[in-house]
Amino acid sequence: MTLNVAVLGYRFMGKAHANALARLPMFFPDAPDVRRHTLIGRDEDALAAAADRLGFAHTATDWREVIDDVDAFYNLGPNHVHAEPSIAALEAGVPVLCEKPLAPTLADAVRMRDAAESSDALAACAFNYRFVPALRYAKGLIDDGKIGEIRQIRARYLQDWLVDPDAPWSWRNDAEMAGSGALGDLGAHSVDLARFLVGEQAGGVDRISGHLQTFTEERPVEGSDETRPVTVDDAYTAQAEFESGAMATFEASRVTPGHKNDHSVTVHGTDGSLRFSLERLNELEVMTGDARGYETVLVTDESDPYVEAWWPPGHVLGWEHTFVHENYEFLSAVASGDEFSPSFADAYAVQEVLDAIERSDESGEWVSVR
C-alpha cells in the first residue's frame, strides 16, 4: 500500500517535512511506502518550483480540491490556517499532521480537538522535539524512576532573530495570524516537552503565573517605506505548578542576542537531575544516585532510540533527523491504525497552558489552567 501525502506549505516546515519523507525509505525500511502527492500553496510559480525541488507530483492552490485524493494531510501553514483545513480533512476521514501550536486561539483549538474526537482519522500535532533520541532517553530514565520524584522543571527557548528593531515584519508578528509571539512559537515546544517528560508522574499543569512583553512596537514592511504594528509578545516568562506539586519555570524570547536556537530543559528529582540543550542535541547530562556532578552521555549507541537506523556510535544526528523520526511514527500509525502521540488532545492541553499564561498576564494574578 502506498500512502499519498498532501502538504500545505512549502517554506521552512515544508522543506523540513519533505526532506523527512524523502529520507524514510533510505533509513527506515519498515516505514510505509509514501508518495509525495500534492504540494499546496498560493503562488503558482513559486509553488511549481518548490514542488519540483521537493519531489511532489502535483500542485494545488486550494486545499479543498486535494483532501479527497490523499491518504494523509500535512498542515504546515501559518497558525491562522491550521483550523479550517485540518477540521475539513478530519471530517473527510483523512489523517492530519498539523504543525504547532495547534491554533492561534483556544477557541480554534477547541474546534480542532472536537473534530479529532469525532473523527476515526488520526489527528497529530508536530512537536518534533519529542523525537530527539536524547530526550527519548531522558523520558525513559524519568519513567524508570532513575531521578526519583519530580520536584522542579525549568524550560527555556531563546532566539535572537528579532533583536534588530529594523528586522522586517512578518505574519509571526501579528496576533490575528499567529495568536501570540514567542509564547506560541517557542513556548508551545517547552510546555509540550515538559508534559512529555514528566506528565506521567507530575500530571498536567494546574496553575500558572505569566508575563508577556513586547519590546518593539512596530516593524518595517519589507520592500516598502511602511511599518506595521507588532501585536504579539517578543518574550514571556511563567511560573507553574503541576498537579503533583512539582514546580516549573518557562521562558522564551525571540530577542536574546547570541542565542540562535537555544531550547533547553532541566528536570530535578529527589534522586538526581537531567539537563538537555538543543544546541548539543546528541548529549544528555545525567546525575543520579551518589554522583557528585553531571555525567555527559552521548546518546548515539545502536541501543538508543532511533539511532540504530542511522550511523555508527558517535556519528551524531542533527535537527532535521527529528522530522524523519516524527514522520516515521506518524505514517506508521496511519498505515497500521495505531494511536500516535502527540495527538490533538495533547496539543490542546498545551494550548490551555498558553491561554492561561495570557490570562495571567492580563490579570496580573495566578490563574488555573482549566
Per-domain residue ranges of the chain: 2-129, 134-318+342-368
Closest CA to 86 of 99, 349, 11, 320: 99
Mean pLDDT of 138-158: 97
Angle 133-143/188-202 helices, nearest 10 degrees? 20
CB 220 within 8 A of CB 169: yes
pLDDT category at 157 given cuts 50, 70, 90 is very high
The overall average pLDDT reported for the chain is 97
Closest CA to 356 of 130, 217, 187, 203: 187
Tell me the CA distances in angstroms from 286 to 102, 174, 181, one per residue in order. 32, 40, 32
Report the pLDDT value the prediction gives residue 50, as an integer from 0 to 100: 97
Tell me the CA distances in angstroms from 262 to 17, 226, 278, 281, one per residue in order. 21, 32, 6, 10
Angle 319-336/12-27 helices, nearest 10 degrees? 70
Position 340 pLDDT exceeds 90: yes
List, as one string, the DSSP characters of 73-132: EEE-S-GGGSHHHHHHHHHTT--EEEESSS-SSHHHHHHHHHHHHH-SS-EEEE-GGGG-
* Rounded CA separation 148/249 (Å): 19
Report the pLDDT value the prediction gives residue 1, as an integer from 0 to 100: 83
Report the pLDDT value the prediction gives residue 175, as an integer from 0 to 100: 97
Position 290 pLDDT exceeds 90: no
Class of domain 2-129: alpha beta
End-to-end CA distance of the chain: 42
Report the pLDDT value the prediction gives residue 12, as an integer from 0 to 100: 95
Pairing between strand 2-8 and 33-40? parallel
Cell triple for residue 169? 515584519
Mean pLDDT of 234-241: 98
CB 242 within 8 A of CB 267: no
* Rounded CA separation 95/76 (Å): 14
CATH of domain 134-318+342-368: 3.30.360.10
Closest CA to 205 of 366, 83, 313, 338: 366
pLDDT category at 291 given cuts 50, 70, 90 is confident
Percent with pLDDT over 90 in the chain: 98
Among 138-142, 223-227, 270-274, the range scoring the smallest mean pLDDT is: 223-227
Report the pLDDT value the prediction gives residue 292, as an integer from 0 to 100: 85
CB 8 within 8 A of CB 63: yes
The dihedrals phi and psi of 233, each to the nearest 5 degrees, come to -80, 145
The residue behind cell 522530522 is 323
Report the pLDDT value the prediction gives residue 17, as an integer from 0 to 100: 98
- CA triple 163-165-168, angle to 5 deg: 100
Tell me the CA distances in angstroms from 247 to 130, 154, 346, one per residue in order. 21, 9, 20
The torsion angle over the Cα atoms of residues 41, 45, 49 and 52, rounded to 10 degrees, is: 70
Position 289 pLDDT exceeds 90: no
CB atoms inside a 10 Å sphere around CB 12 = 10
CB 188 within 8 A of CB 353: no
